[in-house]
Chain A
Amino acid sequence: MGLLITQPKGAAQRLKDGVGAALIALVLGVPMLGLATADVGGALAVITRWPLLAGFVGVVFVGRLFFQWLIDIFSLRKKRREQARPAVAKSRPWLTWIGFAALGLAVMLPIAFSGNRYVIDTATTVLIYVMLGWGLNVVVGLAGLLDLGYVAFYAVGAYSYGLLSTHFGWGFWQTLPVAGLLAASFGLLLGWPTLRLRGDYLAIVTLGFGEIIRLILLNWTEFSGGPNGVNSIPRPTFFGLPFKPDSDDGATFASFFHLEYSPDHRVTFLYYLILALALLTNLFVSRLRKLPVGLAWEAVREDELACKAMGINVTNIKLSAFAIGAMLGGFAGVFFAARQGFISPESFVFSESATILAIVVLGGMGSQLGVVIAALLLVVLPELGRDFSEYRMFLFGAAMILIMVWRPGGIIAKREPTLRLGAAA
């Protein structure tokens, strides 16, 4: 009578199972619920609570029936799915292991470098770029739509949080979905007019779009604060506990957990927050890739006409890629605004778009792990190069050229198939 029964049962079997569970509940319930001690005139006396016990047994019986019924439904569905779709098998387990090792390192990093604010800050920046890279990967890597204005969606997310929080007092978690939706609608806005464009032509239009957003933010002073940007954006809180020195007005993170206040808490929290957001992004994108829509993104990249002849609505597929890529960029933007506490159009210039695109291309179009490695390189290399002052960008450029010579298809150029037949098929 295991919890995860894979074979679906019939109604009679479920009933039997329910009676069994009720019996166990009765046996356990008699000493635990049915009998209780009470203080009667200074002496302990045993009293009985049969109605409570009966209620408990009843709840267990009905609950178990219901639970078993749910399990049956899910296992049936799962079976059908497995029958309908061939088994998906991993071909290169070592890549998965590298991924898990990297994840382990990422989780351990703030512990290993606790107190070293510089390292954690840099790692947070890397993770922002990883998340942006994964978002742009949907548009460029999978759907093959060259987007040079991706930073616009990052800006939409950042300004959504900046403006909603400073004007209307919205919190981080409230703004996150709204900013994602807003960024996605901007993605559609860019997607619609550019549906018929490909390659270089699309790149030019997206480049223009990125600039338009930046110029609007720069010049529409009443709305966005213009070049002064948005100031004193509230920092995210830990389930309502702010990261502040102890004061009289309410509990803070440090006081609630009886810790000595330290600014490192917030830095570490932000690090784990972006790590979680990035992981969610990764999970989301890699699930999508295995769904029909993800496969269709890649097919549209390969041959639009063949897709149409197969009944695929290319318009919807392209728009969905734009919207989902933009949404992920918007999420990253919200985090960026919350982390910096101050945003201005300065942060959303074309070179940001170029950097994100470079991460995707350098990592290997469509490769999730490649994006991580490339983001690490592109953020850490200039940091390491600080000692070389004015030669820094020179070294950076040289390193990029060397990588492209060494691996012209990107660091991880080989594409992982989404589907493999099991041996049986």
Chain B
Amino acid sequence: MSMLTFAGVHAHYGAIHALRGVDIHVEEGEIVTLIGANGAGKSTLMMTLFGQPRASQGSISYQGRDITRMATHDISRQGIALVPEGRRIFPRMTVLENLQMGATFAKPEHFDGDIKRVFELFPVLEARQAQRAGTLSGGEQQMLAIGRALMGRPTLLLLDEPSLGLAPLYIKLIFRTIEALNKEGMTILLVEQNAHHALKVAHRGYVLQHGGIVLTGTGKELLASPEVRAAYLEGGAEISHA
């Protein structure tokens, strides 16, 4: 049984039909990436998982449980953590408080160990722990957003465009962290425009276009696929529907 399954999911933003029957699945221990151009529905897919917006058709299940109609906060309490697009840290609260917020539904006795682990992953956060999160640089904020998500001890980690707007050094660091987390057993669903990096770390990938999946395969296959190369790595043509 897959950890996460989307079965024929449709979603609408008002009149816009953003997802048109998406089928994807994520197995335990995998890194799965969704790539696609701007407006292809990548972020929508991730937010539909959280019920924002709700799937208008089809079903989403997580560890065998149907979560299609669950309240957003209950979905997250199932053990799914989101590192949202644009990071969305709490800017006027300190770094430490941000991390503490992430740990709201984790057991308090895990707090010390978890925060140590986050500080080991991102030592800069330890140095900046008393600073207001809004004063961090973009890369540091991204690390904080990931650290905050990890504090909730998730079984599935969703990352929405973690490399967006970051300096190349930070992008490298973020992808290295993703791989390291996965080696420790974390299942990861990664949405990226940076197809090259994403496909290199991912076990499998899906290519999303106009709200539907047009191509799927292992990371290597997609990286080698001429359509993907043309559309996302060298820029240009759309993938014609098979």
Contact = CB atoms under 8 A, between A and B. Distances in A.
Given A420-B96, A420-B130, A421-B96, A306 B89 contact: yes
Given A292-B104, A417-B130, A308 B76 contact: yes
Interface stretch (A10-18, A63-71, A252-260, A294-302): A294-302
A86 interface: yes
Interface stretch (B106-114, B199-207, B214-222, B226-234): B106-114
Interface residues of A, number: 32
A80 B72 CA distance: 32
Contacts of B28: none
Interface in A137-154: none
Interface centre among B77, B89, B112 (most CB of A within 10 A): B112
A309 interface: yes
B162 interface: no
B73 A418 contact: no
A24 to B, nearest CB: 39
A418 B52 contact: no
Contact of A85 (B101, B102, B108): B108
B102 A305 contact: no
A303 interface: yes
Contacts of B74: 311
A420 B99 CA distance: 12
Contact of B91 (A80, A86, A302, A305): A302
B130 A91 contact: yes
B115 interface: yes
A311 B73 contact: yes
A419 interface: yes
B88 interface: yes
Contacts of A417: 93-94, 96-97, 130
Contact of A425 (B73, B101, B112): B112
A84 B111 contact: yes
B6 interface: no
B92 A298 contact: yes
Given A83-B109, A425-B115, A309 B50 contact: yes
A310 B76 contact: yes
B52, B71, B97, B132 pick with most chain A CB within 10 angstroms? B97
A83 B76 CA distance: 26
A96 interface: no
Contact of B90 (A303, A419, A421, A425): A303
Contact of B72 (A85, A308, A419): A308
Interface of A: 80-81, 83-86, 91, 292, 295-296, 298-299, 301-303, 305-314, 415, 417-421, 425
4 nearest CB pairs, A to B: A84-B108, A302-B90, A311-B76, A309-B82
18 contacts: A83-B109, A91-B130, A295-B101, A299-B101, A302-B90, A303-B90, A306-B89, A310-B81, A310-B102, A311-B152, A313-B73, A314-B73, A417-B94, A417-B130, A419-B94, A420-B96, A420-B129, A421-B129
Given A308-B76, A417-B96, A418-B97, 17 more contacts: A83-B109, A84-B112, A91-B130, A295-B93, A295-B104, A303-B89, A305-B52, A309-B76, A310-B76, A310-B101, A310-B152, A311-B76, A312-B101, A313-B73, A420-B96, A420-B130, A421-B96
